[in-house]
Amino acid sequence: MPGFRVHITGSSIVGVAYGAAAWYVGDMHPLTCALGGGLCAVSGMLPDLDSGPGIPLKESVAFAAAVVPMLMIHRFQQFGLPLEAIILAGASIYLAIRFGLSWLLKNYSHHRGMFHSLPAAAIAGQTTFLAFAAEEPLRRYFVSSAVVLGFLTHLVLDEIWSVKMGWFGPKVKKSFGTAMKFNGPDLWPNLLTYAIAIILGLLAASDAAWTEKMAHTRQQMEQAARTYYYPQTPQQWQIRR
């Protein structure tokens, strides 16, 4: 099984490539590309949150506790919260993730469970999409997909390391197939994971439709304002008439 350095190195390389491609090919803003690349790199540690006390759990939870409130700043502003309420909400989210989530993971998770699964990757992307409430839909899709990409990079590396080359060809370890999976051996974790994925998917779809509608309305208002303040010059035949 690849260690912490292998996972963080692999997801970092993928994150840099993804951010560079979005900037060079997709004409994405450099800051958005940097954010997506950084989140992709860190997301390579997320599946190992169920590995028990250690570097992946400690670093991932601490990073999530710090970044998630910052991603939600624009969301708080959409809710019309004053500055004091935003600070208190951010602090509450930090404490909930830093200590509450950490305690749950230490006591109620087991390694290579549903954290190592494709539905878990979808949950990570949906959570990021809901937290990062940028006005431009493309920026939200890019940032949330960067998290999914980093998550999947971890799962792919786990599967690659499950195959070992021997004298008589490749040998498949018992861990092969336990990373990139759709369900685990236990019923209740499967049901809970899919329930969370479906609920977050519905919320994300509804929020995406509302955001795109607001973006279209804002474009129409800006176009109407430009037409009002900068009317078109009458044509020559109109002046003569």
Residues above pLDDT 90, as percent of the chain? 35
Tokens of 122: 């979808």
With tokens 């260690």, the residue in question is 3
pLDDT in tens, 95-132: 998 888 888 777 766 766 788 889 999 999 999 999 99
Dist. CA 65–CA 67, nearest whole Å: 6
To the question of pTM greater than 0.85 for the whole model, the response is no
pLDDT in tens, 133-175: 887 888 999 999 999 999 999 999 988 877 776 665 566 666 6
Tokens of 81: 């919260």
Dist. CA 215–CA 79, nearest whole Å: 17
| Residue 199, amino acid | I
Residues β-bridged to residue 166: 169
Dist. CA 68–CA 93, nearest whole Å: 8
Average pLDDT over residues 13-19: 95
Q: Report domain extents, the chain.
A: 4-231
